[in-house]
A and B are shown apart, each in its own frame.
Chain A
Amino acid sequence: MNPLNLWEITPGLATVVLGTALLGLATGALGSLAVLRRNSLMGDALSHAAYPGLLAGFLLSGTKSVAMMVLGASIFAALAQWLTGLLIRSTRVRPDAALALVMGCFFGFGMILQSHLQQNPSAAQAGLKDYLFGQAGLLLEEDIALLAALALLVLVALVMGWSRWKIITFDRAHAVSLGINVFFWDVLYNFLFILSVVIGLQVAGVVLMSALLIMPGCAARYWTKRMSTMVTLAGASGAILGVGGTFASDQLSWPPGPTIVLLGFAWLIISFFVRDIRKKRNQYSGNSAKISDALHLGGVGAN
């Protein structure tokens, strides 16, 4: 029996698979930077904050115009990010509280807009609610172009500026001392981050967006000791999770976004246990390496 018959890949499914793969690639690679920079939760905050922007874009244009909604969402996300930064810098409010506060208020505004829209129902707004939980199944071919552009942009930025990303992420002060324009790279990072969140909302939804950003990076960290491998692996596994999750959701008729997230979580747990087993197995050889250090350095390694 041909296993491919089992899958019955319709053109619609192929579009969705391609879309989730492209998104997984972009968010996985970019998200691993967020994990290393310790602002993983920015993704969650920004996806909540972008929601009112999405609705505002819809309200202003009157149709489900992707361009207007992406623009609106980006403006709100950028505003939220700026506000969070300002709060952290100029008050005693802690970063965690600042994120939660901005997220709650922005999303509250989204709920207001949503209830306003629901009172004036029109045919075009059907499906707007999907942004809450994501509706990968509704991806169209024109969305693919957008997702492909996003993935390409993220990859080009990461590859071209690789040395900069690496140095800034590891040691900002050293980056400044080398004369690197840290401000420029921060702006670029924030720009890409907002764009990924905003475009990803359609697929993953507000609640699950942060998982797409964080999970591949965290899992990849278990497999490697190098940042280049980590980011590559995170991008690749993000894409594979997108494909696998979409197929699985199609077969099991589970909602796609949550399926991808659960698959990602499983991948994370597997990665952890594989590392754990490898670590235990290496413990003996690790000890002998330490002894050889000690001999070589005259006792330094034992410190």
Chain B
Amino acid sequence: MNNFPDTADLQTLLVACLGAVACALGGAFLVLRRLSLLADAISHSILLGIVLAWILVRDLGSPFLLLGATASGVFAVWLVEWFQQRAGIKEDAAMGLVFPALFSAAVVLISQLAHSVHLDTDAVINGRLELAFLDPLIVGNTPIGPRSAWILGGLVALQLILLAIFFHPLRIVWFDPAFAASIGISPVLFHWCVTTTASLTCVSAFDALGSILVVALMVGPASSALLWARQLSGVLVLSVLFALVSATLGFVTGAILDVSLSGMIAVCTGVVFGISWFAAPEDGLVAQWARKRRQVLEFRIGLLLVHLSTHEDGPDSDEECRYDRLTSHLKWPETLVTDVTSDALRRELLIEEKGLLRCTLRGRDLAKHLSTN
């Protein structure tokens, strides 16, 4: 009967992966613009659009619900900007105001319509990934896989097409809006295009994934990718990759432990970020630690050389350059003075004469170089 994916598990995984890719692509642009929290605001605001659209069409399966939801997501972004620009409220507060207000309005409306509509506010937050396979898209009389998979797959395709067409102008706008405007690319237009796509993504994904997982998938993979990649294309590719890894990993562990899949995938985006934070080539903790260790020694040697070269010809050279007085002048513990000095002596940057340290020619050159740069 089910010809294309033949097990419920595989269908669920497919939905999770498509949702993850859709969110990661849309989210990367928000993260790059420092608008990560718009994902949060949009994903909480779309409920109002759904309820209002339902009041108009009275059909939970109607595509107008998706339209209404997308519109209310964009409306939320507009409202945030209105508060910022017209009402003198700072960006953070504006976001924090708008989405609870819209969400509250939706919750109140639902509570009043409870007898006639079955909209579970709880599911908006948590998602129903486990149940996605129960709602297949039916063509003719044949079910052809989960409806969410088709919706999310379509969204991914749409995003990829848009990206293929607009990649270069987007890159210019995102890097330097003022320059983009000067060469005739409208930053405002692109801003709203990206916002609308983000809103559409939230709308398509929240039903299956839940609003919190949507936020996690929009922000997590992109933030991890930014630690590894320097170019926009690299960031996008890695975001998608990390999103897929998170979704698969979360799905497998969640299924084994028999707990919420959405929750597990959200945690896995955090795990992927944690690993990136630890291991990334330049910004990772390991790389930072190693670089710091190397540079602390270089820095201390430089400090010693600059100190000596400043004072060795001065009247206080007996005092400032004496080996056994360095501890008090540089405020270093004695072991440190020994370590740094012996390393500098070994590299022939210093020589010792009657308890006084003097820079060699090379040492003086290095000090000069350090202090002028």
Contacts and interface: CB of A to CB of B under 8 A. Distances in A.
Asked whether A and B interact, the reply is: yes
28 contacts: A35-B90, A38-B90, A44-B96, A90-B288, A92-B227, A93-B227, A100-B36, A100-B216, A101-B223, A101-B269, A104-B215, A104-B220, A108-B213, A108-B266, A108-B267, A109-B266, A111-B212, A111-B260, A112-B259, A115-B260, A133-B121, A207-B100, A253-B111, A254-B108, A258-B103, A258-B104, A258-B105, A262-B104
B219 interface: yes
B161 interface: no
Contact of B108 (A99, A108, A109, A262): A262
A107 B40 CA distance: 13
B16 interface: no
Contacts of B107: 133, 255, 257-258
User: Which secondary structure dominates chain A's binding surface?
Assistant: helix
B216 A111 contact: no
A20 to B, nearest CB: 14
Interface in A106-126: 107-116, 119
Given A44-B40, A103-B40, A35 B277 contact: no
User: Which secondary structure dominates chain B's binding surface?
Assistant: helix
Given A207-B125, A210-B100, A214-B97, A97 B31 contact: yes
Interface of B: 31, 34-37, 39-40, 44, 87, 89-90, 92-93, 95-97, 100-101, 103-105, 107-108, 111-112, 121-122, 125-126, 210, 212-213, 215-216, 218-220, 222-223, 226-227, 254, 257-260, 262-267, 269-270, 273, 277, 283, 285, 288
* Interface range, A side: 35 or more
Interface string A40-64: 1101100010000000000000000
B37 A265 contact: no
B215 A261 contact: no
B96 A211 contact: yes
* Among B31, B89, B100, B260: residue with most chain A CB under 10 A: B100
Contacts of A108: 212-213, 216, 262-267, 269-270
Contacts of A262: 101, 104-105, 108
Contacts of A40: 90, 92-93, 95-96
Contacts of A91: 227, 277, 283
Given A112-B267, A113-B263, 17 more contacts: A38-B92, A39-B92, A40-B93, A93-B223, A94-B34, A100-B37, A101-B270, A104-B219, A104-B270, A108-B263, A108-B267, A114-B126, A129-B122, A207-B100, A211-B97, A253-B111, A262-B104
B215 A132 contact: no
A105 B65 CA distance: 29
A132 B125 contact: yes
A71 to B, nearest CB: 22
B95 A41 contact: yes
Interface in A145-170: none
Interface in A64-115: 87, 90-94, 96-105, 107-115
Contacts of B219: 97, 100-101, 104
A218 B89 contact: yes
B34 A115 contact: no
